[in-house]
A and B are shown apart, each in its own frame.
Chain A
């Protein structure tokens, strides 16, 4: 059974029709890329899946459940996690505290007040930091990290919920080529635990790590298939006059 089924989702902002009946299917433990020219609706679609916007029409079904009108917090509880396009790490907190904040999110309020899980979560926090090459920056403020490192922190925080599906909106935005490569290396091992939808402009990065791609144009699905299929697709080549 597919992990995520998006059927006929549409979204209009005022007079702008950002999405007009989009279908996407994502299987478990796959990386699914979402590409298309600027303004094609990639981010809007991602946000609709995450719950940052509510779709005007269509259905979104995640892990067998209809989440079309569910609040983001509730989608998150069910295993759907979003990493924002603009890094939203908490800049005034330390790297450690950022991850801890993510890890402790489902603790009951009373437990948080008594700091019951602090000790137990410590190894998990350190492990997450290590995995994303942030262990030596644990006590630094998140605001002191480089842009690339902040992205990694974001991804690490999104993964703390052990989501089944992770949504990444432009994870390599503003990164240097080395950082981009490193990001790819960090993400691939996650495939064992988690599926991913990645919105990206960098087509090389997408080709390297994704299994399937969906191409959007003007709020509609232009083409959908494996990386090889999309590369060969003439429809897509027409839309993309240059390869970035």
Chain B
């Protein structure tokens, strides 16, 4: 009989978003250029991790292939720079987004839109295979540098201004991350997000409502591939190097780790996951006794997370209720109350 209309919404996620945003804005102001560059790389990886979260955390698509779209776009960016001499950000960004979108759409079409509904395992293995195959393909292809990869010699340009790694590049990347985050957030809080939330819990049930579940998955998969492509292209220019490892299962698995460790289904979790894991890696790289054991340490961390805290870091901060959120109006906030569209409870709070 709980009069639930009086429940106050928990706004932990909103507070967290604001705190993280402030933290990210402040980074270049409080650290050296060297650390800012490391942080920029983390922002790019965070975008990759968000693309994973959109798939697994929101749509039930376990993908071990996000690095594929990241890497393909990175190679395209490197080729544009090295072979065509084209480095303008105005073109590189849309092209890399398009490359990510198209490549993920093709893979998604093949894996998700077949005659029979694919299982989670099938999709996971399919994406893993695609990522692995792509890595071997470029590792043997001389034109793109084969096993050596390609050095991206020139800096990305904004008009005639050269974007060197440093605070300016950091803010540019942060801008892209914020846009990607807001776009993703809008999508997962919309009515489409409600469909995703339902799909996560019981796909078969949704099919009976009339939802063509696989199409929704293909849509999210393509959107996330677009984000992965965007970050891959920017990564190539920031790091000045792209190699087969940038599209292989190693990096794809890192995307999974970042997401799971930070907490999937939150969009913030991937950002926290990247921050935590990459920071630990960075600190350990100075402690030579532990450096060779980093992969083992990472594996142990993951085992612990999966066994004891599958909701990751975010699971410690945010309730499941808030994470999943609400998609309609709250009782008492109906749009006809007062004639205006009163407070829509659509920002993911309970």
On whether the two chains bind one another, the answer is yes
Which of A's residues lie within 8 Å of B, judged by CB?
50, 52, 71-73, 76-77, 81-82, 84, 88, 90-94, 96-97, 100-102, 104-107, 109, 111-119, 122-123, 125-126, 135-141, 157, 161
When the two chains form their complex, are residues B321 and A141 in contact, meaning their CB atoms are under 8 A apart? yes
Interface contact B211-A105, CB-CB below 8 Å: yes
Asked whether, in the complex, the Cβ of B4 is within 8 Å of the Cβ of A140, the reply is yes
Residues of A within 8 A of B324 (CB): 92-93
B329 contacts A112, C-beta separation under 8 Å:
no
Evaluate contact between B4 and A91: CB separation under 8 angstroms: no
Shortest Cβ distance from residue B3 to the other chain A in the assembled complex, whole angstroms: 7
Interface of B toward A, CB cutoff 8 Å: 1-5, 7, 187, 190-192, 194-195, 197-198, 201-202, 204-212, 215-216, 219, 320-321, 324, 326-331, 334-336, 341, 344, 346, 350
- A101 partner, pick from B198, B212, B336, B346, beta carbons under 8 A: B198
Partner of A82, one of B5, B208, B328, B335: B208
Q: Majority SS of interface residues in chain A?
A: helix
> Which 9 residue pairs across A and B have the least CB separation, nearest first?
A139-B4, A105-B209, A112-B192, A112-B191, A76-B210, A105-B210, A88-B205, A115-B190, A96-B328
- Which residues of chain A come closer than 8 Å to B335, judged between CB atoms? 119, 122
Q: Which of B209, B346, B350 contacts A102 (CB 8 A)?
A: B209
Given A73-B207, A97-B194, A139-B7; A92-B201 close (CB under 8 Å): yes
Contacts of A101 in B (CB 8 A): 194-195, 198, 206, 209
Q: Is the Cβ of B208 less than 8 Å from the Cβ of A115? A: no
Q: Select A161's contact among B7, B201, B210, B336, beta carbons within 8 Å.
A: B210
- Across the interface, name the chain B residue whose C-beta is closest to A160: B209
- Distance (whole angstroms) from the CB of A113 to the closest CB of chain B: 5
Of A97, A114, A122, A161, which is within 8 A of B334 by CB?
Answer: A122
Shortest CB-to-CB span from A74 to chain B, Å, is 8
- B202 CB contacts on chain A under 8 angstroms: 88, 90
- B333 CB to nearest A CB, Å: 10
* Given A88-B202, A93-B197: A113 and B329 interface contact (C-beta under 8 Å): no
How distant is the Cα of A82 from the Cα of B205 in the complex, in angstroms? 10
The interface residues of chain B lying within 8 Å CB-to-CB of A88 are 202, 204-205
A73 CA / B195 CA spacing, docked (Å): 14
Q: Given the complex of chains A and B, what is the CA–CA distance between A93 and B346 in angstroms? A: 14
Evaluate contact between B191 and A73: CB separation under 8 angstroms: no
Interchain CA distance A52-B204 in the complex, whole Å? 9
Closest to A123 in B: B336
Contact B334 A109 (CB under 8 A): no
Chain A residue at minimal CB-CB distance from B196:
A112
| C-alpha spacing A106/B212, complex, angstroms | 10
Residues of the B chain whose Cβ atoms lie less than 8 Å from the Cβ of A126: 334
- Minimum CB–CB distance from B43 to chain A (whole Å) comes to 26
